[in-house]
Amino acid sequence: MSGAENTVKIKSADGSVRDFTRGKSAREFIAEMPDSKNFVAVLVNGKLADLNTPIAEDSELRPVTLTDQEGIDILRHSTSHVMAQAVRELFPGVKIAIGPSIEDGFYYDFEYGKSFTPEDLLAIEKRMAEIIRSDAPFTRLECPRDEAIRLFTEQGEGYKVEILNEIPDPKISLYRSGEFVDLCRGPHLPSTGVIKAFKLTGLAGAYWRGDEHRQMLQRIYGTAFPTREELDEYLHLVEEAKLRDHRKLGKELGLYSIEDDIGPGLVLWHPKGAAVRMVIEDFWRKEHIKRGYQILFTPHVARQKLWEKSGHTGFYRENMFSPMDVEGMPYLVKPMNCPFHIYVYKNQIRSYRDLPLRYAELGTVYRYERSGVLHGLLRVRGFTQDDAHIFLTEEQLGPEIETLMDFTVGMLNQFGFSDFEIFLSTRPEKSVGSAEAWEKATNYLISGLQKMGLKYTVDPGAGVFYGPKIDIKIRDSLKRTWQCSTLQVDFNLPERFGVEYISEDGKAHQAIMIHRALMGSLERFFGCLIEHYKGDFPLWMAPVQMRVIAINERNVAYAQRVWEELLGRGIRVDHDFSREKLSYKIRKAELEKISYSIIVGDKEEKAGEIAPRGRRGELGKAMKVSEFLEGLAPELSLPQKKGGVYQTGS
């Protein structure tokens, strides 16, 4: 082979290009780079690879460190392998399934005759630390698929064999660290010693491949970070998240419940939770009416043929409940509101002068979710969407998208969310409509985001079956993201249902439809609010804003008049006229996160005043009820949009 044939050209991240000996490893190429000791993998032409990967052709190469997300994912996946090795060594007869990295860590699934315990996790962590100290290299092995099947069959690893039987490639990659060999695409860290900070975080059950008819496995969760400081910070946030868990606070504060006799995923809003929902709904309606929306109410069920026409039975059937028979006709509870809004639109002939026509509804929908994925208020089977559908012309589409994005971000701001991630979801594999319509709709969404200067990430193939969409994820006070708002452009349902308007030329033209939800669902949004505020809502939103407390029994009559006056002024107020000690009653109000205790004793009764106390112990001077409420007016009022440009997070 000539010298030219024996070299390849490597382009580095800085744009420089140099010759490199063909077949040498990426590790050798980056060895002379600054900080090369911190590299854990490489991107070769955009594809992740081990440092020992031979470079056989002209390539663009970028080193990966533990400051990169790719590096973090590799760290966590490698740690999951170390965990699997430790489990196998400590628990003879265990069978291992899969162990990927996930958003905040990793897990591995196991089949074992006994249930793992928290004490077992401590033993596994100890053995993992020993494996890490051994600094065993992660070595990639390649072998014929039949040989890999024979290896794992001999080891009794049936889950690995099942996976291998579904892989069409004749050659399979395995990874070895020490004596442990696992089926894996990789890449992995150079060695176990690179792992510096890890923690096993929990146990759970998981069906093999998520199929409730298959074997129930034991899942061990864990996490890993480049440094101990980052791990400690994460563990602190995990503990804080437990304190904020909306399921825990929902029960403690009497906000909502889910009863098994009624059905999993079906929410009972208790008086305090319903009070917050009422405030949210009142604010939502007020803001929509100000912007020209018309409020609708639609049925909870419809004939199955409606959902066949809309395409839901073809593309969404697995998320819909079984039909019910009504006079020999199959009916389905609605998973969405859009077909109903279409029929309201079609009830009369529409002119271009009527558009855009904006309909909004707090519509309760029902979707079948497997019991294993139900999660408090965040994943339910019956929920109320803050839904809207806008019918408009193509010329109106661009400006309307900008208006909707401003409305969405502004609404979220008012509830205390100012940091967002925005995703543009494109056409999925299973969809309806022409490529031209999809491209046109996607370009309008891109244009709207760009004109507003909003940063976004493309999420390929994550659109709904009838159109592309923008999703907004809010970041809460712990910097966790929650999916709430969505905006979808739809050329397809208007075509299916013949949604038209009469244009200036006197002819009928197809309208365009936008599906839009600002909060997503009231249940999920309420769950986010509980955790964001730790159940301590702003005064305007608080379920109980004040509690009138009588110091003595002789003050009850006056306290009753104060309570009635506050009720008459629109305050959400209750009272405590019990014979308990004042300190007990104040502490009880604080634990229930009631914003203000209104204390009434002999002195206050004589002066015709009240003594307010904030839930964090702030003492106000004695004053008249009217004076107190006047001072709180800004906190009690529904929020108003302030001037300025809304910004999203990076």
Task: Check 85, 218, 385, 488 and give the catalytic one.
Answer: 385
Q: How far apart are CA 556 and CA 115, in angstroms?
A: 57
Tokens at residue 366, please? 């029902």
Catalytic residue among 76, 77, 350, 469, which? 469
Known catalytic membership, residue 509: no
Tell me whether residue 510 is one of the annotated catalytic residues.
Answer: no
* Strand bridging mode 101-102 / 457-459: unpaired
Tell me the C-alpha distance between 333 and 298, whole Å: 12
Long-range CB contacts (within 8 A, 24+) of 201-205: 201/105, 201/238, 203/116, 203/118, 203/121
Contact criterion met (CB below 8 Å) for 364 and 383: yes
Q: Does 143 participate in catalysis according to the annotation?
A: no
Q: 91 and 78 in contact (C-beta within 8 Å)?
A: no
Strand order in the sheet with 171-177: 139-144, 171-177, 180-183
> Which residue type does 134 have?
S
Give the residue among 185, 162, 164 at the shortest CA–CA distance from 174.
185
Backbone φ and ψ of 633, nearest 5°: -50, -45
- For the chain, the 3-state helix, strand and coil shares in percent, each to the nearest 5, are 35, 30, 35
Spot the catalytic one: 81, 199, 389, 532.
389
Residue of 515, 524, 547, 615 with catalytic role: 515
Using the Cα atoms of residue 573, residue 578, residue 579 and residue 583 in order, give the sign of their dihedral. negative
Burial class (CB in 10 A: 0-12, 13-18, 19+), 597: buried
Yes or no: say if 504 and 386 are a contact pair by the CB < 8 Å rule: no
Contact 377, 524 (CB under 8 A): yes
Among the listed residues 338, 386, 524, 593, the single catalytic one is 338
- By the 10 Å C-beta count (0-12 exposed, 13-18 middle, 19+ buried), 25 is classed as middle
Q: How far is it, in rounded angstroms, from Cα 163 to Cα 216?
A: 17
* Residue 504 one-letter amino acid: E
> Residue type for 73, please?
D
- Burial state string for 539-553 with b = 16 or more CB within 10 A and e = fewer than 16: bbbbbbbbbbbbbee
Concatenated DSSP letters of 459-489: ETT-SBTTB-EEEEEEE-TTS-EEEEEEEEE
- Please indicate whether residue 188 is annotated as part of the active site: no
Helix ranges (H only) for 54-117 are 69-90
**Catalytic residue from among 367, 532, 572, 593:** 367
Name the catalytic one among 386, 387, 476, 490: 387
Q: Characterise 528 by phi-psi region: left (phi > 0), alpha (psi -120 to 50), beta (else).
A: alpha
Q: 387 an active-site residue?
A: yes
* Coil/strand/helix, residue 616: coil
361, 297 Cβ separation under 8 angstroms: yes
State the catalytic residues: 338, 367, 385, 387, 389, 469, 515
